[in-house]
Every structure is written in C-alpha cells, then in structure tokens.
Structure 1
Amino acid sequence: MNRTWLREHSELGVCALLLALGVLVLTDAVTMDVAIAQRGPVGPRTVPIAVGAGLLLIAVLLAVDVLRGGRGEAESGEDIDLTEPADWRTVLGLAGVFLAAAVLIDPVGFPIAGALLFWGAAFVLGSRRFDRDPLIAAGLSFATYVLFDHLLGVPLPGGPLMGVL
C-alpha cells in the first residue's frame, strides 16, 4: 500500500479503533462476574453487550463507506474559532477536578465527592455564583446517589452519610 492510499483512507484508523473498543467491551461483558441476582429480563450484561455490538456494527458500516469512497466532512468549527489555540487551563482544571473526585470517592463517599465534582466543574468552566453553585452541586450529587444506590440498586460508597441514609 502506498502512502497516498493510506492518506485517502485514514478514516479506517477510526474503524480499527471502534472495532477494538467493541471487542474489548464485548469481551468484558461476556466475562463479567455477575454476583447479584437478576431482577428481570434485563441484567447487568445487557447494556455492555448492546454497546459492544453497536460499536462493531458502526465500525463495519464506516469501513464499508470509506472503502466505497465516502469521506467525512472537514470540521467547520460551528461556534468556535479554529484559529485559536486550545484552552489548556480549562482542560487541565477539569481533569484535576475529575481526578480529585475519583480519589475522594472512597474515603468521603459519592455524595460529597460528586458535589465537589459538580461544583468544581462549574467553577472551572467559569461560574462564580458562590451562593448557588455549591447548593445545586450538593442537590445533584445527593439525587444521583439516591437514584443509583437506593432506587436502581447500584451500590455507591456513602462515606460518612452511609449510616444517615
């Protein structure tokens, strides 16, 4: 294969990535150790299998389209100026907030770590409403915790709130 053909069919790299990701998701779903009892016809493997199968289907359809001559549109930059450099301060701030939440989730529990995640993301993205943002973040985090832990049966670490809820 010459370099020109590879350059003209560079979208096949995306196909390969989607294919590998689909195989990984399906492999993980099939080998998942399901220790909890299934509550109905839809078990914990259903969504990962559907996502993995969807990734494989999209990879094959995209590869067929690319090999038939299809090409993706160049980014037009809808509402952004493509000549401006990336805002690395915001990107690194969001990555730091996410990493902090991941580190804190076990010791302080999901409700507190989630509130810090929501409030930190809002702060990094420019919101400076100190009277409103922490309350909204706490409410979102608590509602998410109750929804997943109590209503959906997905155990989340409660931290110091474990005995209260």
Structure 2
Amino acid sequence: MNSQETPATPTEQTSTGPGAASRGSWLRERSELGVGVLLFAIGVLVLGDALTMDVDIAQRGPVGPRTVPIAVGIGLLVIAVLLAVDVLRGGRGEAESGEDIDLSEPSDWRTVLLLAGVFLGFAVLIGPLGFPISGMLLFWGAAFALGSRSFDRDPLIAATLSLVTYYLFNNLLGVPLPGGPLMGVL
C-alpha cells in the first residue's frame, strides 16, 4: 500500500463493492414495487380501521357501514400483491409517451414544497378561519404554486370556488363545514 493511500472504511467497502451496484440497479429496475408497498400499507390501514369500527349491531339489511371499507381494503391488498407479482416477473409500467414532459429533467421541488405548504396552511387555518376563507387561500395558493400570476383574477376565482364549495357541501349535501367568522353571514 502506498503511503498516500488510506485504507477504505467499512462503509466505503460496502457501498462501492460489486453487490451494492447490483442491488441499486435491481431496485431501480423494479421501482414500481414502491407503489405496491404503498398500496399494501394503505390497504392494511383501511382494513384495520374498518374492522375496529364501532358499529351498532342492530343494522338493517346485509350491507352495513363496514362493508365498503372492508371491500376497498381487500381490493387494495389484492392489487398490491398482483402489482408486486407482475413487477417481480419483469413487468414494467408504460413510459410517459402521451404527455409533454421530459423525464430526464429533475423534479420541480419548489412547486412541490409550495403546494405542501399551501395544504398545511389550509389544515392549520380551517379551524380558526373557517372553510370559506381558508379554502380561498388554498385555491389561490395552489394556483400561485402551479404558476398562475394573475393577481387580479385569481383571488376572485378562488373566493368564488370556495364559497360555492362551502354552500354546496353545507346547504345542499348536508355536510357541515366550519364557517369561521362568516358563520352568521353565510
């Protein structure tokens, strides 16, 4: 060994060895397995919630409130297993040929983080401000994050969408949304 060379650390030996490259490429070639794992986890969550749901035993008819969540959970598990089997047998998803995107370009993390911030802000503000105001901020913020810079039109469209959504859910569908300071006005 040369005096200028330093021995490789254990982490360098494992990360640069021939097995590490093959593991990385094996996972990259089967990246759809991540979708299968996510679907499986969601299926387990849905089934767990459905089976532990507190339900009144005196229900009418054969279909109760657990039926649809159990069916959805089982469907998610079946799809996750079928997707994993297909990927492990060499199946691959079809490439993005119909959309006008360049797959070699990196992800636009600024837009992703802006949208995540908008959704987080909506979740925090819906209690104190109510749906009409926080919904307007959600729609306006999402439009801004996705590239719209029409500062005279966007707030009006966002306010209209938010008020129409609030009215439809609250008054027509009977799904109460928090009104916030506008509770008496609307």
For normalisation by structure 2, the TM-score amounts to: 0.69
| Greater shift in the superposed pair: 79-88 or 128-137 | 79-88
What are the ranges of 5 or more consecutive residues in structure 1 without an aligned counterpart? Answer: none
Indicate whether 1:130 and 2:156 are aligned.
no
- Correspondence for 2:80: 59
What are the ranges of 5 or more consecutive residues in structure 2 without an aligned counterpart? Answer: 1-21
Which of the residues 113, 128, 132 maps onto 1:92? Answer: 113
Which of the residues 87, 97, 104 maps onto 2:125? Answer: 104
Q: Equivalent residue of 2:159, what SS?
A: helix
- Correspondence for 1:18: 39
- Correspondence for 1:121: 142
In the aligned structure 2, how far is the partner of 1:44 from the partner of 1:137? 35
For normalisation by structure 1, the TM-score amounts to: 0.76
Once the two structures are superposed, residues 86-112 of structure 1 have per-residue CA deviations (whole angstroms, 9 ceiling, x without a partner) of 222222222221111111100000111
- Runs of 4+ in structure 1 displaced over 6 angstroms? 41-44
Higher relative contact order (CA 8 A, sep 6+): 1
Question: Judging changes above 3 Å, is the alpha-carbon distance between structure 1 residues 28 and 61 closer, same or farther for their aligned structure 2 residues?
Answer: same
Higher-Rg member (1/2):
2
Q: Equivalent residue of 1:155, what SS?
A: coil
Question: Judging changes above 3 Å, is the alpha-carbon distance between structure 1 residues 31 and 141 closer, same or farther for their aligned structure 2 residues?
Answer: farther
Indicate whether 1:30 and 2:51 are aligned.
yes
Q: Determine what percentage of the aligned residue pairs are the same residue.
A: 81
Counterpart residue type for residue 82 of structure 1: L
